[in-house]
Chain A
Amino acid sequence: MSTQDNISVNLKVWRQDGPNDKGRFEDYSLKDVNTHMSFLEMLDVLNENLMKEKKTPIEFDHDCREGICGSCNLVINGIAHGPEARTAACQLHMRHFKDGETITIEPWRATAFPVIKDLVVDRNAFDRIMSAGGYVTVATGNAPDANALPISKVHADSAMDYAICIGCGACVASCPNSSAALFTGAKIAQLSKLPQGEPERKQRVKSMVEQMEKEGFGDCSNFGECEAVCPVGISISAIATMRTEYVKAMFS
């Protein structure tokens, strides 16, 4: 962690022109990086410099820059979202880097997340897993009064612990098998804690797990890397719940 106000950094950034092109690392150096800057602001500055030299800027996904939209997807020094625990890349600040440090920046790497350009990848596979069953089938206008069905605080809080997934895909990027088990498990676990999820419980887990496999995500072999990099701290217990639910759905 740097205590200086300004540092210099060397960057090795993955550049790839398109999905079918061969990628390569390119080196950049940046001086006078204010340590209160966010990581993405540092990239903004680099891009401004590149454009002032009429060069092509680096493409990266970002939107809310508050750690909630799940757009940003950088592997920083080999770790999805970088060195700070429970922090999305957009919430990572330059104070966590040393003066003169070389920082490697890569996109998520997984068969199911093909690179679009530079650091931008296609994560539509997650949408397809969700559309396979990540919902409660209730048409607009059909709902009973919200307090008609009490839900214990413990269950509601536990559902919330899983519901906070931001869908960034760091779990996939960090998994040696590129498994989407934490992402899929989080939705299944959330809905399994709530009475609203009950009617479609079995169908949901079957469809979502099947879709996950169809998309080319690998199996989970309990490395636990996903939990370690998750920027919102989703517990790996989501995967255990998914497995239990799956077994129950298959054999009952």
Chain B
Amino acid sequence: MEVADKSTFKWDSKIPTGPLTEKWKTHKNNVKLVNPSNKRKFNIIVVGTGLAGAAAAASLGELGYNVKAFCIQDSARRAHSIAAQGGINAAKNYQNDGDSIWRLFYDTIKGGDYRSREANVYRLAEVSNNIIDQCVAQGVPFAREYGGTLDNRSFGGAQVSRTFYARGQTGQQLLLGAYSALMKTVHSGKVEVRTREEMLDLVTVDGTAKGIISRNLVTGKIERHAADAVLLCTGGYGNVFYLSTNAKNSNVTAAWRCYRKGALFGNPSFTQIHPTCIPVSGEYQSKLTLMSESLRNDGRVWVPKAKGDKRPPNQIPEEERDYYLERIYPSFGNLVPRDVASRNAKNVCDEGRGVGESGLAVYLDFADAIQRDGLKAIQDRYGNLFEMYQKITDENPYEVPMRIYPAVHYTMGGLWVDYNLMTTVPGLFALGEANFSDHGANRLGASALMQGLADGYFVIPYTIGNYLVEVTPGEIDTDHEAFVEAEQKITAELEQLLNIKGSKTILDFHRKLGKIMWDKVGMSRDEEGLKEAIAEISALRKEYWTDVFVPGQQATYNKYLEYAMRVADFLELGELMARDALERPESCGGHFREESKTPEGEAKRDDENYTHVSAWEFTGVDSAPVHHREDLVFENVKLTQRSYK
């Protein structure tokens, strides 16, 4: 495998010099500004309208840029940010419990197992407070105390209450806030929202992003859109595992096409497996449903002490229950970070102590909380989540403990970006979950909403100008040969998929890929399994291109054709994820290598050799990518073995 110094790649993380607490302030003072009358000359494309995309499009439109925002759904309001339940972190210290920007920064970098950049994470903590102010001003109805001030709850990996929430629908309320800001700029004419339109390629001219090729999902028409900068806000790629908590249409295609055009992909194997999801119930299952981490504030996680104990939970006496998180981690208890909670759930199920029909579940029990705080209090806190659980499982969680199991939820990896959120393709930026930047090897709960909005509202409006001042606006139009070529390639690819007319459905392949990923690139990984995964995925990809059946035609609404393109890209991504996991023999955060654990079975990092970001360069679909590394420098925090005991 190649290493950075052999590469011709030029990259720079552009982290400002100076003390950590001053970097962002100094940078904001030093970035070049675009004159207000010049802003209207620049066209900016924003792909995706979740928290990052809607916030960025609205904020850039307000500044005077011309923005075109794209989403694959029928409305910008439906992006998957809407499904985030629990909350959003901020260092307001409204609870007087000792919180500060420093502590939020420290918890986030420690929670990420020291595999993220100090400067980025500090900036995130710094702007977190502005986000809450902004959202309240938009009319987001956060939960409040009787006195009228904002309420907070606790989340995993922190010992302070810093999570703001709106019942169990925080993502919905924040996204509707950002969406309303977006609609306001649509009204003022600065932003055009193009719904049901999917980016299928990035157009570059001399290596610089100059636009995109998209497909109108209603008519099937392939369209060209030129711009002076492209912002990728397309979320994560958890659906590579087939079953995940992501929305069915969430995909990697836009990001993957950027990778193919020269954007490095950072830490692709860093995946978050969320500990509290409703367990799989059958083969037909199309997706998994998350039960918010906030439930661990009041719910107690347990399994029977004895293996194979099949008694109903209420018949298992207290002394025969193992509240294993409270037992192993007395100081954090049920509120350990997600990676730790997930791994422990897997361990107890592997020991044969799992519950439910499949034995792949643990209990999350609210009996004590209901007795302590009353039914009404629990209903107020989690009513909609309990209702959702009952709809899906047909069991009443007020009476019977919930059954939960880990599921793929979030991808910390993504397009590599510098401090300005620009990828290695000039003019191409990546925001929110689509980039790799702030969560290291594990994301803490309530930090995804924070990062999406931080990038969109408070980072990109400053950093994009620094790039644009060097660009001649409107230099390239859609008649340029780069657009013609890219359009022809995409049209040919769609035709090719439709013409295979094979014997297996797209879903057959996606399920198979998902199984390889879950078994070998999932919660625990080892060298042998990863090597097998690489070979198996590569073989499955070849089979896909000879034996898949894609129905219908190109020039029409055709959801399965959309799906076929996405699965084609997942079949390339899966292999890269396995390669990335193989290249990192240490364990860190959600990346757990069987070869690297402490005597207690916890993830064991190798700081001497692996304190870096892995960033991958595309060289061709069937040729090995080039591995680059960005060394992470820690000047402000001391790297310690994470302990939540």
Contact = CB atoms under 8 A, between A and B. Distances in A.
Contact of A126 (B75, B139, B184): B75
Interface in A186-243: 190-191, 193-194, 196-197
Contact of B284 (A44, A157, A166): A44
A56 interface: yes
A22 interface: no
Interface in B147-193: 147-150, 166-167, 169, 172-173, 176, 179-181, 183-184, 186-187, 193
Interface stretch (B203-211, B444-452, B554-562): B554-562
A91 B392 contact: yes
Given A123-B75, A140-B181, A151-B144, A37 B284 contact: yes
Interface residues on A, range: 35 or more
A161 B258 CA distance: 41
A124 B139 contact: no
A103 to B, nearest CB: 17
B615 interface: no
B247 interface: yes
16 contacts: A40-B286, A44-B284, A44-B286, A62-B248, A64-B83, A66-B290, A84-B391, A93-B394, A141-B130, A143-B134, A144-B133, A145-B133, A146-B133, A147-B150, A163-B173, A196-B139
Given A117-B556, A146-B150, A140 B59 contact: yes
B137 A127 contact: no
A188 to B, nearest CB: 12
A41 B184 contact: no
Contacts of B55: 140
Interface in A139-188: 139-147, 149-153, 156-157, 159-160, 163-164, 166-167
A37 B284 CA distance: 7
A87 interface: yes
B281 interface: yes
A127 B92 contact: no
Contact of B73 (A54, A63, A132): A63
A142 B166 CA distance: 22
Given A95-B394, A146-B133, A135 B169 contact: no
A116 interface: yes
Contact of B507 (A48, A146, A149): A48
A127 B457 CA distance: 21
B180 A130 contact: yes
Nearest to A191: B139
Interface in A12-44: 18, 34, 36-38, 40-41, 44
A70 B175 CA distance: 13
Interface residues of B, number: 81
A152 B139 contact: no
B516 to A, nearest CB: 20
B142 A64 contact: no
A143 B83 contact: no
B397 interface: no
Given A63-B248, A124-B75, A134-B183, A146 B148 contact: no
A34 B394 CA distance: 14
Contacts of A140: 55, 58-59, 62, 134, 181, 457-458, 461
Interface of A: 18, 34, 36-38, 40-41, 44-45, 47-48, 50-52, 54-57, 59, 61-71, 84, 86-87, 91, 93, 95, 116-117, 120, 122-124, 126-127, 130-147, 149-153, 156-157, 159-160, 163-164, 166-167, 190-191, 193-194, 196-197
B545 interface: no
Contacts of B552: 56-57
B289 interface: yes
Contact of A120 (B82, B83, B458, B557): B557
B90 to A, nearest CB: 9
A116 B83 contact: no
B166 A160 contact: yes
Contacts of A91: 388, 391-392
Max chain B CB contacts within 10 Å: which of A69, A116, A142, A167? A69
B92 to A, nearest CB: 7
A124 B130 CA distance: 31
B74 interface: yes
B183 A135 contact: yes
A59 B220 CA distance: 14
Contacts of B143: 156
B80 interface: yes
Contact of B184 (A47, A137, A143, A149): A137
Contacts of B92: 146-147
B139 A159 contact: yes
B166 A136 contact: no
Interface in B528-559: 549, 551-552, 556-559
Interface string B583-608: 00000000000000000000000000
